[in-house]
Amino acid sequence: MIDAGRHSILGVKINAVDYETAVDRIVRAAHERRGFAASALAVHGLMTGVMDEEQRYRLNSFDLLVPDGQPVRWALNWLYRTGLKDRVYGPNLMRTVCARAAKEGLGIFFYGSTEEILLAMKKNLEETYPGIRIAGMESSKFRQLTPGERDALADRIRSTGGSLVMVGLGCPRQEVWGYEFRDLLQLPVLTVGAAFPFTAGKVRQAPKGLQNLGLEWAFRLCMEPRLWRRYLFLNPAYLVLLLLQALGLFDSSAEGRKPTRELLYG
């Protein structure tokens, strides 16, 4: 198990850990049935915290933020000499947690995406991890919830008896959800982004070689051209700001500002 501490990348505190450490922390929280928020951040997710002080506060309030993208892992190794040999890729983290949950009898509630994707994902998960206990599934409403809907959703999740919640709402909505629901549910929440459609077999993942080179973004841009703003603006900005941090010209100590209102994404 590797745990090289938590370090600020442009003001967002990333845990320099491996899969084993991340899974162990999530599963331990599930057994203890306590609030615990975890997310896998690539450059886009990290940059949402750089550009928005309230989002930075939310992210830094998470119990675990792992380096989903190779450029985030490289930054940890470059700036802090963490020696990480691999990233903790969100889809793989989700699958590893599912395997461990199946082995230890932990029920999982899945929230987000569409009904079609959830049903396909359920089928694939049950075939891949015999004995997995899916406590419940609910698709996104693709809008903000009312306070009453928020409370009713939390009640439905708790009533299933599930031990942990996996959320696939896309960044940054899912991180907001994790921040706002963690203490309400008193269960671990793992936000996993595109892992739902990947696991359902509805969206292709980048070839392993491109992933290792940190070029997964280029593959996703080809597959989903609508994401062009995310990659063509945020990736260069990330590199420039990272260089400024390395030169001591970027204040990476800012914690962010506590949100003044709930967003209640659903």
Give the per-residue pLDDT at 254.
Answer: 84
Q: Is residue 56 part of a domain?
A: yes
- Residue 265 DSSP SS3: strand
The verdict on whether omega for the bond into residue 147 sits within 30 degrees of 0, i.e. cis, is no
Q: Is residue 64 part of a domain?
A: yes
Q: Whole-prediction pTM value?
A: 0.93
Q: Is residue 221 part of a domain?
A: no
Taking residues 50-77, what's their average pLDDT? 97
Q: Examine the pLDDT at 215 and tell me if it is beyond 90.
A: no
Q: Is residue 132 part of a domain?
A: yes
Give the per-residue pLDDT at 29.
Answer: 98
Q: Residue 230's pLDDT band (boundaries 50, 70, 90)? A: low
The Cα diameter of the chain in Å comes to 52
Cβ of 160: how many Cβ atoms within 10 Å? 17
Q: Is residue 230 part of a domain?
A: no
- Name which of 61, 39, 263 is nearest 150 in CA terms: 263
Average pLDDT, the chain: 92
Q: Examine the pLDDT at 231 and tell me if it is beyond 90.
A: no
- Residue 112 DSSP SS3: strand
What proportion of the chain, given as a percentage, has pLDDT over 90? 84
Q: Examine the pLDDT at 103 and tell me if it is beyond 70.
A: yes
The full length of the chain comes to: 266
From the number of C-beta atoms within 10 Å of its C-beta (0-12, 13-18, 19+), residue 54 rates as: middle
Q: Is residue 244 part of a domain?
A: no
Domain containing residue 63: 3-200
Taking residues 231-260, what's their average pLDDT? 92
Give the per-residue pLDDT at 8.
Answer: 98
Q: Examine the pLDDT at 2 and tell me if it is beyond 70.
A: yes
Per-residue pLDDT of 143-170, as tens digits, reads 999 999 999 999 999 999 999 999 999 9
List Cβ neighbours of 56 (8 Å cut-off, separation of 6 or more): 11, 12, 49, 50, 254, 255, 256, 257
CATH number of the domain within which 52 lies: 3.40.50
Q: Is residue 151 part of a domain?
A: yes
Cβ of 1: how many Cβ atoms within 10 Å? 11
Taking residues 188-194, what's their average pLDDT? 94
Q: Residue 234's pLDDT band (boundaries 50, 70, 90)? A: confident
Q: Which H/E stretch holds residue 47?
A: helix 43-51
- Name which of 11, 6, 7 is nearest 52 in CA terms: 11
d(CA 114, CA 139): 5
Q: Is residue 231 part of a domain?
A: no
Q: Examine the pLDDT at 105 and tell me if it is beyond 90.
A: yes
Give the per-residue pLDDT at 217.
Answer: 60
Lowest mean pLDDT among 89-103, 173-187, 220-234: 220-234
Q: Residue 207's pLDDT band (boundaries 50, 70, 90)? A: low
d(CA 229, CA 204): 20
- Name which of 95, 89, 79 is nearest 17 in CA terms: 89
d(CA 216, CA 232): 13
Q: Examine the pLDDT at 34 and tell me if it is beyond 60.
A: yes
**How many folded domains does the chain comprise?**
1
d(CA 237, CA 134): 40
d(CA 98, CA 43): 25
Q: Which amino acid is at 260?
A: T
Tokens of 180: 């706002």
Q: Examine the pLDDT at 214 and tell me if it is beyond 90.
A: no
